[in-house]
Amino acid sequence: MLSKRIAASAAALALTVPLAAATNAQAGQVTHRSDTFRVLVFSKTTGYRHDSIPAGIAAIEQLGQEHHFTVDATEDSAQFTDANLKKYRAVVFLSSTGDPLDQPAEKAAFQRYIEHGGGYVGIHAAADSGYDWAWYGGLVGAYFKSHPAQQNATVDVTGPRAPSEQGLPRQWNRFDEWYNYRTDPRAAGVRVLAAMDESSYNVGPDAMGDHPITWCQRYDGGRAWYTGMGHTIASYTEPLFLKQLLGGIKMAAGTASFPCGPNHPTTG
């Protein structure tokens, strides 16, 4: 009789687990569970859609598995409520273009989340987003303007003490789509962690001179970290880019040092 009860319990469990996974998928959210903190990856697009988004989600899930944090991935902007966002130490905008939070209540909930000490990670086209939302423009640090053809370029790593830049070469040569921005984020007060060496590639007609590509800042009560890298699918299998991304997630989540306040210099 005992063996029958055990078999019945196992069968019920086998039915319950896929049912829960299906419920999450139907709700527009897929969860990879781990144990120390939780992040939300948001990849909704209403503009250009990057084919690297699935690779980015998979890479962040793998980082979570290896480094013991839980990853929820969604394209459902209705997840942006006070009750839901309070579960997360950081929210990752993964190339979320256009106006992905298109309801005032969603924008307001995310703003309150940051005001109460939440973390933001912006990847690549997160800067091609929220053009009619000035608060978000301040959070990301600068809006996208243009880009030349994808090509190799040298990135000058100027913030080696920040966790996201530790272990990266001071001159980092890699292939990507290199954004030009409408404004210089340094002028807005961010701490620049890496900048483009414009002499190393064909930057096109929108050369910036001072050309930040990765930066961080304390913003409106929260922590914000952004990188313009991550256009290509191959980026999400690059060990150095994944090292940078992991550090940025931990910085935004408040589980690693965040040397991004006004008293920290922009170099060193």
Q: What is the CA radius of gyration of the chain?
A: 20
Written as one string, the DSSP assignment of 209-249 is SS-EEEEEEEETTEEEEEES---SSGGGG-HHHHHHHHHHH
Task: Flag residues of the chain having pLDDT under 50.
Answer: 1-27, 263-268
Q: Return all residues near 228 (Cβ < 8 A) that are at least 6 apart.
A: 124, 127, 178, 179, 181, 213, 214
Separation of alpha carbons 181 and 122, rounded Å: 14
* Cα–Cα dist 119/116, whole Å: 10
The 10s digit of each residue's pLDDT in 1-56 is: 434 443 444 444 333 433 333 334 334 565 555 568 999 999 999 999 999 999 99
Residue ranges of domains in the chain: 29-253
Q: Return the pLDDT at 160.
A: 77
Please give the Cα distance from 191 to 102 (Å, whole number): 29
Longest Cα separation, the chain: 78
Left if phi > 0, otherwise alpha if psi is -120 to 50, otherwise beta: which for 87?
A: alpha
pLDDT of residue 26: 35
Which residue bears the tokens 């063996």? 3
For domain 29-253, the CATH architecture is 3-Layer(aba) Sandwich (3.40)
* Nearest-angstrom CA–CA distance, 6 and 25: 29
Say if residues 193 and 248 touch (Cβ distance below 8 Å). Answer: no
Eight-class DSSP state of 116: T
Rounded-to-10 torsion of CA 48, 75, 86, 27 = 170
- Return the pLDDT at 8: 42
